Structure 1
Amino acid sequence: MAKHEEVKNGVIFPAGEKNEAFSQFFVGQSYLKLLVADPKVNVGVGTVTFEPGCRNNWHIHRDGYQILLVTGGEGWYQEEGKSAQFLKAGDVIVTHDGVKHWHGAAKDSWFEHIAITAGTPEWLEPVDDETYNKL
């Protein structure tokens, strides 16, 4: 059994639906619950839940940023050229404009964060299994 099974039902907000809209940019299954999607507000806010081993592709936020508020489980965050950072509930990550990065669940744990995002994401290559499995 994976660690932090309670995350799959949502920690603060209910878990979202299967993240079909962005599934081509993830390895594994994620779930998305939009919390703020107001066209008059220049920021999106949503809860992303990752099954164990799920991670998104490398990506860059153009003309914006991303703030991750980790709400449950265990996961990873990595910026290009830097070591991966282990994440747990209560951690906060700020990704500045133009920084190539990825984030996702640990191999054996569910993971959830609230993503506050401005700008346009540029989706890149998947995080290769060799890199991920070394974590």
Structure 2
Amino acid sequence: MDITPKTTSTKGPSGLFTGDVYFDVIAKGDAPSRLRVNIVRFAPCARTAWHTHAAGQTLHVTDGVGLVQARGAEVKVVRQGDTIYTPPGEWHWHGAAPEHFMSHLAMWETTGAADESETTWGELVTDEEYGYPG
């Protein structure tokens, strides 16, 4: 059994996130495991860029109110206790609603393929795309 001490929170880089986003790595997929888990904390209006995951992603909202969207679909509101699954290759983004902080566990796996990126990042989500549905 290994116990990993808490590490310093990392600020999400501006090329991949809009606004103030911080994450802590909980599981980094040390072989033979391919599981990766981060807790991600979003300030109001903060969000990821569009992205996909080669093996899909599960989010579990631990606090606050957030927004999620798959490309071509409506923006959806998520709240503490909600779990969101995004299938492999689906372009999506997630973040906090206006006037609310939001934290979630982000869980995904690597594919194990040396030539395949587990996450493919796209463009930042515009303010128009972010539009809050209510």
Same-fold status (TM-score > 0.5): yes
Which has the higher Rg, Structure 1 or Structure 2? 2
Q: Name the counterpart of 1:131.
A: 129
Distance 1:34 1:23 in 2: 18
* Higher helix fraction (1 or 2): 1
Percent of counterpart pairs with the same letter?
A: 33
SS in 2 for 1:24: coil
Residue type matched to 1:50 in 2? F
* Whole-angstrom CA distance in 2 between matches of 1:133 and 1:67: 23
**Structure 2 gap segments, 5+ residues each:** 1-5, 111-117
Q: How much does 1:75 deviate? A: 0.5
Q: Please state how far the C-alpha of 1:134 moved relative to its aligned partner.
A: 4.5
The unaligned stretches of length 5 or more in structure 1 are: 1-13
**Which consecutive aligned stretches of 4+ in structure 1 deviate over 4 angstroms post-superposition?**
none
How far apart, in 2, do the equivalents of 1:95 and 1:53 lie?
A: 21
**1:67-98 deviations in Å (ceiling 9; x for gaps):** 00100000101001111110100100001101
Would the aligned equivalents of 1:33 and 1:47 in 2 still touch at CA under 8 Å? yes
The reply on whether 1:52 has 2:41 as its aligned counterpart is no
Question: Size of the alignment, in residue pairs?
Answer: 120
Normalising by structure 1, report the TM-score.
0.82
CA RMSD of aligned residues (A): 1.8
Aligned equivalents of 2:27, 2:132: Cα separation in 1: 35
Q: Distance in 2 between matches of 1:43 and 1:23?
A: 25
Counterpart residue type for residue 28 of structure 1: G
